[in-house]
Amino acid sequence: MNRRLLLLPLVLALALTGCQASPEPQAQTPAVTAEPTPTPEIVEDRAPDGTASRPYAFGTYARTTPESYWDATITEPQADATETVIAENSYNPVKDGWQYVMGRMNTEMNENITDADEGRAGMPTSVQPVFVGSDGQIYDIWNDDNSPAVLTEDWIGTPTVAMKPGVKSTGRFAIQVPTVALAGGQFAVQNEVSGDIIYFGEPQP
């Protein structure tokens, strides 16, 4: 038999094999990138500390300085108290463009008192109520004539006490404040020796 005839089927098979389409490449699955785990937010401790931004609540006793003999607080705050003050005494002064704020000042003697002072007669006058206006000024109980408003059970008339831990004093006060400085202002207590101030209550609306 002719050799070329024998080779023909083999050649045709190879040719058909070469004409077959190459397989389609497989689609690549995109890599999934893991989302980063968010870092937990650290919330600042917002416990009251007597500053203007973190004032003590009215009625909370606190010290103006660590060494003070007296723990102090303010209660019964009243921002629009002019009519009340005038009703108490018609001679209480009030300047044009000003108004009164009122409250009750409370003190309690703490364990800082020394043995030498314990038992002596004293008054908690080293701490005084003030109002810090939105203008940054500190307003106290003294008017232009260097006298406070006359009130029933007023703070300035607090009687002397035998000083020992736990002894309390209380009295009402009135402070003249410019009306424009009232909104945003705060009640506070000032140490008359060091000048330090502790704030009570949120700023006035």
Mean pLDDT, rounded, of the chain:
86
Backbone angles phi, psi at 33, to 5 degrees: -90, 125
27 pLDDT more than 90: no
Residue 112 structure tokens: 């800082």
Vertex 181: Cα angle to 200 and 169 (nearest 5): 35
Which of 39-48, 68-77, 108-117, 130-139 shows the lowest mean pLDDT across its residues? Answer: 39-48
33 pLDDT more than 80: no
**108-119: buried (b, 16+ CB within 10 Å) or exposed (e) per residue?**
bbeeebeeeeee
Closest to 175 measured CA to CA, from 123, 107, 98: 98
Exposed, middle or buried, 128 (CB in 10 Å: 0-12/13-18/19+)? buried
Residue 144: per-residue pLDDT: 86
What is the mean pLDDT of the segment spanning 6-29? 50
Question: Which amino acid is located at 121 in the chain?
Answer: A
Domain spans of the chain? Answer: 63-200
Which of 16-25, 69-78, 149-158 shows the lowest mean pLDDT across its residues? Answer: 16-25
What's the pTM value of the predicted model, to 2 decimals? 0.76
Residue 29: per-residue pLDDT: 57
Which CATH number does 63-200 carry?
2.60.40
What is the mean pLDDT of the segment spanning 138-151? 93
153: left (phi over 0), alpha (psi -120 to 50) or beta: left
Residue 56: per-residue pLDDT: 98
What is the mean pLDDT of the segment spanning 163-190? 96
7 pLDDT more than 70: no
